[in-house]
Amino acid sequence: MWFQSAFREIYMSAFRYARRAEVLGDSVYDHAPGAIVLSSGLAYPPHLPDVVREAMEAARDHGTQTLQYGPLMGLEELRDEIVRFVAQDGVSCDRENVLVTYGAKSALDLACRIFVEPGDRIIVAAPTYMTALQIMRAHEAAFLDISQDEEGLDADELETQLERLRKNGERMPKLMFDVPDFHNPTGITMSENRRRRLVAMAEHYGFIILEDDPYRRLRFEGEAIPPLKSFDENGHVIALGTVSKILAPGLRVGWAIGAKEIVDRMAMQKADGGTNPFSQHIVADLMRSNKMSKHIDDLSAEMRLHRNAMVEGFAEFLPDAKVRKPQGGYFLWAELPEGTNAEAVAARAVELGVEVSDGRLCFPNETSRNHLRLAYSFVDAKTIRKGVRLLGQAYDELKAQA
Ligand X SMILES: Cc1ncc(COP(=O)(O)O)c(C=O)c1O
Q: Which amino acid is at 291?
A: K
CB-nearer residue toward ligand X: 127 or 254: 254
Taking CB under 6 A as the binding criterion, the range among 29-37, 80-88, 101-109, 144-152 that sits at the site for ligand X is: 101-109
Smallest separation, CB 107 to ligand X (Å) = 8
Binding mask 50-69 for ligand X (x = CB under 6 A): --------------------
Smallest separation, CB 231 to ligand X (Å) = 20
SS3 128: coil
SS3 124: strand
Smallest separation, CB 233 to ligand X (Å) = 25
- Regarding 214 and contact with ligand X (CB under 6 A), the answer is yes
Q: What count of other Cβ atoms lies within 10 Å of the Cβ of residue 398?
A: 18
CB-nearer residue toward ligand X: 254 or 326: 254
- Regarding 103 and contact with ligand X (CB under 6 A), the answer is yes
The H-or-E segment that residue 152 falls in is strand 152-153
Smallest separation, CB 242 to ligand X (Å) = 3
Size of the site for ligand X (CB under 6 A): 13
CB-nearer residue toward ligand X: 184 or 276: 184
CB-nearer residue toward ligand X: 41 or 392: 41
- Regarding 187 and contact with ligand X (CB under 6 A), the answer is no
Taking CB under 6 A as the binding criterion, the range among 78-86, 98-106, 275-283, 309-317 that sits at the site for ligand X is: 98-106
- Regarding 184 and contact with ligand X (CB under 6 A), the answer is yes
> 370: left (phi > 0), else alpha (psi -120 to 50), else beta?
alpha
Q: According to CB under 6 A, which residues from 240 to 299 bind ligand X?
A: 242, 244, 249, 254
- Regarding 179 and contact with ligand X (CB under 6 A), the answer is yes
Please tell me the distance from the alpha carbon of residue 254 to that of residue 129, in angstroms, as a whole number: 17
Smallest separation, CB 89 to ligand X (Å) = 16
CB 208 within 8 Å of CB 238: yes
Q: Long-range pairs for 169-174 at CB < 8 Å and ≥24 separation?
A: 171/119, 171/120, 171/121, 172/121, 172/205, 172/206, 172/207, 173/120, 173/121, 173/122, 173/123, 173/144, 173/205, 173/207, 174/115, 174/116, 174/120, 174/121, 174/122, 174/206, 174/207, 174/208
CB-nearer residue toward ligand X: 122 or 394: 122
CB-based contacts of 212, cutoff 8 Å, min separation 6: 104, 108, 129, 132, 177, 178, 179, 240
Smallest separation, CB 326 to ligand X (Å) = 12
CA distances from 215 to 225, 332, 367 (A): 13, 13, 25
CB-nearer residue toward ligand X: 15 or 29: 29
- To the nearest 10 degrees (0 to 180), the angle between helices 192-205 and 155-167 is 10
Candidate list 22, 36, 38, 41; residue touching ligand X; CB under 6 A: 41
CB-nearer residue toward ligand X: 83 or 362: 362
Q: According to CB under 6 A, which residues from 343 to 402 bind ligand X?
A: none
Give the bridge partners for 74, in sequence order: none
Contact set with ligand X (CB under 6 A):
41, 103-105, 129, 179, 184, 212, 214, 242, 244, 249, 254
